[in-house]
Amino acid sequence: MDNISYLTTPIYYVNAQPHLGHAYTTVVADVYTRLGRLVGRDARLQTGTDEHGDKIAQAAAAESVEPKQYADRISDMFRQTWPPLHIRYDRFIRTTDPDHIKVVQEILQKVYDAGDIYFAKYGGNYCVGCERFYTDHELVDGKCPDHQTEPVYIEEENYFFRMSKYQDWLLEHIEAHPDFIRPERYRNEVKSFLAEPLEDLCISRPKTRLTWGIDLPFDDRFVTYVWFDALINYVSGLGWPDGRDFAKYWPHAQHLIAKDILKPHGIYWPTMLRAAGIEPYQHLNVHGYWSVGESKMSKSVGNVVRPLELAQVYGPDAFRYFLMREMTFGLDANFSQDLLVERYNADLANDLGNLFSRVLNMMARYRDGLVPEPSSKSDQRPGPDPRAQAAEDTLPPLRTMDQPWLRSSTMKELSWRTTQYYQAQMDVFAFRRALEALWDLIGAANKYVVATEPWTLAKDLDQAPKLDQVLYRLCQVLADVTVMVWPVMPAVAEKMAACLGLAGVTTDKIRGGLLAKIASGQALLGPGTQTQKPRPLFPRIETDKVAAKAAKAEKKAGGKKSARPQTKPRAELVAIEDFARLDLRVGVITEAGPIEGADKLLRLMVDLGEDAPRQLVAGVAAHYSPQELVGMRVVVVANLKPAKLRGVMSHGMLLAGSQGKTMKILQPDPELPPGAKIK
């Protein structure tokens, strides 16, 4: 298996704000990249924005700003969307980056010199209002559908890429590499495109029509159009032609796209690479669409229309899990708040969260939280069970765990096999299968608890070794689960690891190879490891349905007063929605100065990633000098009602902690850019 990987998302066009589709693609890319890091790969992830073209120029003109200014703003919105979703990329590329522009021109020149770009004239129906050509089919009664005017027939000269020349080569390449485009349905689709003769690709626009683009190096009356700009980001981001990253990562390149841009990536891009003398990418991974449905959810939880806001409401990790689990990669899927809450409660709160909770509570209660010595032979012997290894080729009959005779050795074997299967499935983008298998393991662990009844064993001192064995095994399973959960839910996995005393998950340097360690049959938690009782990983989301069910269950229990009053008003607790009302942002202090007549206050200018820095008044003069504040990264309450302090307006508040007389300003991680949202 490759020990290097390079995965890209498309670069997103800056004519729209980030939405669920962008988020899905980017989350998938992050999960895959994290999986790579988990198995010890040097994994690189690139995303970015596509910023040239008509639409951007028009949108900018509508706002009376320069295209670059407009692109800057939207591009920044994309950049800031990812960190809150726990997405980490290695490069955020923009098509307006100088190094990208240079590479685009070099490749254009190279292909031109090779004779694969030619100049030609073509004519068509042109609508002056739309500034574009229409085909006969698009016209309504011979008129432009938008303007209801007759188009004029004009002739225009443009540059064309000789794509047809590479048609046969591409078809052969696809035949020879069955997983070049996957899943298979999209490979078939590309093949059917190629069954028809390919037309050459128009790659320019005259500057009389469009100036917001990259100049053709061989004719400055033209700019290049769309694909010879955008697609090239995948190699320009690596420093083609002689960058070290290019040599290292390109041989392992994989692209990730939604099905709407299959043709450019499945046909244009490989032929472009071929013409430029660059090896084709390894895989093109194609996913489907989310259709966003109405929520039937009750008012008690509140309706949130925008999916990305749900990520903040229910937590980014739960959101990521939902996306990965709910969609079969390649097919379309539905998104709604109801579905999200259903998955959350069933899979995360009840299955995983509760398993974690019950095991660690028993650990604390029966063994002071210390991982016991195993008493069974199979656990004293390192390495996977030979029987399990022999069964490897019969993967994945994981649903064999319905037997009531669950034993420790069975759990060990199942855990081991799940790891193998999980890794293999994740690696081919079958995330759903991988997660189903992982949840089968979680389910088996829950069954194992019921089958062994640790609470009964605990009552009999003679059963101590047996109890040790059961708890030992459960702890190991939880550790294995934690590792597998990490690519999908990194923050949750880190919490789990902390409770388990599992080292390695949180640290890049030693995380690599954890899966391999499990595969070799080693226990992740040694006897004597201190575990801690957790707070619920995923507090249940109370819906009307759940409340009704609880009430019903109580009634059935004989109408006795429940030990736990179910509707205790808790004034001191706030709901997550309440917290979400706060708009906390990362900022950088750009100026700091005293305020006349106030010895505790300072006037600050803070860059929150907005158009201009904001003015804040902060009571930190007794603890910080203006000089040491400039350049400091801070956390700001951005939607605080403005107030006037000593005659100076303050538009926000920065966060600090105090202990006795000392007071320290909260300083976020340097990886968070100004404007990054905090939650």
Q: Which residues are catalytic?
A: 19, 22, 127, 130, 144, 147, 296, 299
Closest by alpha carbon to 280, among 237, 318, 231, 352?
231
For the segment 501-560, give every residue that binds RNA (CB under 7 A).
536-540, 545-546, 549-550, 553-554, 557
Stretch that binds RNA, among 46-54, 57-65, 562-570, 607-615 (CB under 7 A): 562-570
Closest by alpha carbon to 52, among 36, 76, 73, 68?
68
Please report how close the Cβ of residue 309 comes to RNA at its closest, in angstroms.
21
Which structure tokens are listed for 331? 């097919």
Please report how close the Cβ of residue 463 comes to RNA at its closest, in angstroms.
14
Stretch that binds RNA, among 103-111, 154-162, 339-347, 646-654 (CB under 7 A): 339-347
Burial bucket for residue 303 (CB in 10 Å: 0-12, 13-18, 19+) = exposed
Told to check if 178 binds RNA by CB under 7 A, we report no
- Report whether 666 contacts 634 (CB < 8 A): yes
Interacting residue with RNA among 121, 564, 570, 581 (CB under 7 A): 564
Please report how close the Cβ of residue 286 comes to RNA at its closest, in angstroms.
10
Interacting residue with RNA among 7, 198, 362, 497 (CB under 7 A): 362
Told to check if 139 binds RNA by CB under 7 A, we report no
Q: Which is nearer to RNA, 353 or 374 (CB)?
A: 353
Distance CA 254, CA 287 (A): 13
- Rounded alpha-carbon distances, angstroms, from residue 90 to 47, 565, 677: 8, 50, 20
DSSP state, residue 331: S
Told to check if 266 binds RNA by CB under 7 A, we report no
Interacting residue with RNA among 109, 167, 354, 463 (CB under 7 A): 354
| 420: amino acid identity, one letter | Q
Interacting residue with RNA among 62, 64, 121, 135 (CB under 7 A): 135
Residue that has been written with the tokens 């009999």 in this structure: 460
Q: Which is nearer to RNA, 346 or 491 (CB)?
A: 346
Stretch that binds RNA, among 36-44, 452-460, 568-576, 629-637 (CB under 7 A): 452-460
Told to check if 158 binds RNA by CB under 7 A, we report no
Interacting residue with RNA among 28, 39, 449, 485 (CB under 7 A): 449
Kindly tell me the sign of the dihedral angle through the C-alpha atoms of 383, 515, 525, 472. negative
Interacting residue with RNA among 450, 574, 622, 643 (CB under 7 A): 450
Told to check if 466 binds RNA by CB under 7 A, we report no
Q: Dihedral through CA 268, CA 273, CA 276, CA 279, nearest 10?
A: -160
Interacting residue with RNA among 110, 248, 259, 517 (CB under 7 A): 259
Told to check if 189 binds RNA by CB under 7 A, we report yes
For the segment 639-678, give every residue that binds RNA (CB under 7 A).
none
Which structure tokens are listed for 450? 């019921």
Please report how close the Cβ of residue 116 comes to RNA at its closest, in angstroms.
21
Angle of helix 408-427 relative to helix 20-38, nearest 10 degrees, comes to 120
Q: Which is nearer to RNA, 219 or 351 (CB)?
A: 351
List all residues 6 or more positions away from 379 whose beta carbon is below 8 Å from its beta carbon. 408, 409, 412, 469, 472, 473, 476, 523
Please report how close the Cβ of residue 496 comes to RNA at its closest, in angstroms.
10
Q: What number of CA atoms fall less than 13 Å from residue 18's CA on the CB side?
A: 26
Interacting residue with RNA among 26, 357, 420, 476 (CB under 7 A): 357
- Our CA angle for 272, 48, 58, nearest 5°, is 85
Please report how close the Cβ of residue 299 comes to RNA at its closest, in angstroms.
19
Told to check if 263 binds RNA by CB under 7 A, we report yes
Angle of helix 316-326 relative to helix 20-38, nearest 10 degrees, comes to 90
Interacting residue with RNA among 328, 375, 389, 615 (CB under 7 A): 328
3-class secondary structure, 593? strand
Please report how close the Cβ of residue 260 comes to RNA at its closest, in angstroms.
4
Told to check if 185 binds RNA by CB under 7 A, we report yes
Distance CA 34, CA 488 (A): 8
Told to check if 289 binds RNA by CB under 7 A, we report yes
Interacting residue with RNA among 66, 113, 179, 332 (CB under 7 A): 332
Interacting residue with RNA among 19, 248, 447, 517 (CB under 7 A): 447
Torsions phi, psi for 601 (to 5 deg): -100, 150
Which structure tokens are listed for 83? 């960190």
Per-residue 3-state assignment (H helix, E strand, C coil) for 25-56: HHHHHHHHHHHHHHCCCEEEEEEEEECCCHHH
Please report how close the Cβ of residue 426 comes to RNA at its closest, in angstroms.
13
Distance CA 518, CA 524 (A): 7
Please report how close the Cβ of residue 568 comes to RNA at its closest, in angstroms.
12
Told to check if 350 binds RNA by CB under 7 A, we report yes
Which structure tokens are listed for 433? 């299968």
Strand duo 283-287 + 181-182: pairing: parallel
Please report how close the Cβ of residue 135 comes to RNA at its closest, in angstroms.
4
Interacting residue with RNA among 206, 396, 619, 626 (CB under 7 A): 396
Distance CA 328, CA 307 (A): 19
- Report whether 591 contacts 630 (CB < 8 A): yes
Interacting residue with RNA among 17, 211, 300, 361 (CB under 7 A): 361
- Report whether 440 contacts 480 (CB < 8 A): no
Stretch that binds RNA, among 133-141, 240-248, 268-276, 620-628 (CB under 7 A): 133-141
Please report how close the Cβ of residue 561 comes to RNA at its closest, in angstroms.
8
Told to check if 334 binds RNA by CB under 7 A, we report yes
Residue count, binding to RNA (CB under 7 A): 66
Which structure tokens are listed for 624? 């910080």
Q: Which is nearer to RNA, 550 or 605 (CB)?
A: 550
3-class secondary structure, 651? coil
Give the H or E element holding residue 275: helix 269-275
Q: Which is nearer to RNA, 400 or 506 (CB)?
A: 400
DSSP 517-548: HHHTT--SS-TT-B--PPPPSSPPPP-HHHHH
Site string for RNA, 401-430 (x = CB under 7 A): -x-x--------------------------
CB atoms within 10 A of CB 404: 7
Edge-first strand order for the sheet with 201-202 is 132-134, 117-127, 152-161, 201-202
Q: Which residues bind RNA (CB under 7 A)?
A: 135, 137-138, 185, 188-189, 192-193, 259-260, 262-263, 289, 326, 328, 331-334, 339, 342, 345-354, 356-358, 361-362, 365, 396, 402, 404, 433, 443, 446-447, 449-450, 453-456, 536-540, 545-546, 549-550, 553-554, 557, 562-564, 566
